[in-house]
A = this chain, B = another copy of it.
């Protein structure tokens, strides 16, 4: 199998395959004419790479899985190094999700406050209502926010 066919069957591009080879991730035999020659086994390796990538693994993080398959193990994650990568990735994901949720909470709070203030101003302008100090008790929160 040549590079174009492998790429097509795996749903990727020849450029990516050449890049993986450059990283030593997916080495290829060579035919007499210099063309890269791949086997069915390479398709498995490649699918392993793509699957992990879809889950946010970097190429270097897929290496243990690929080497595990190359070593003849039944699955890419049949080796301790792969399990370790799983664990690291899970804790990364947890940390990332936590951070995003904190950020989301902050942004949501700011958005709600800004909308309240807008509505208060609109109502004030529309009704010419008296501006009372106790109408905007969020000012302190805002200053705290801006100091970050």
Contacts and interface: CB of A to CB of B under 8 A. Distances in A.
A111 B83 CA distance: 7
This chain's copy number in the assembly:
2
B148 A83 contact: no
Contacts of A87: 111
Interface string A91-113: 00110110011011011101100
A75 interface: yes
Nearest to A83: B114
Contact of A55 (B78, B107, B117): B107
Given A83-B111, A93-B103, 14 more contacts: A47-B146, A47-B147, A51-B145, A54-B148, A55-B103, A56-B103, A75-B117, A83-B114, A83-B115, A86-B110, A93-B104, A94-B104, A97-B97, A97-B104
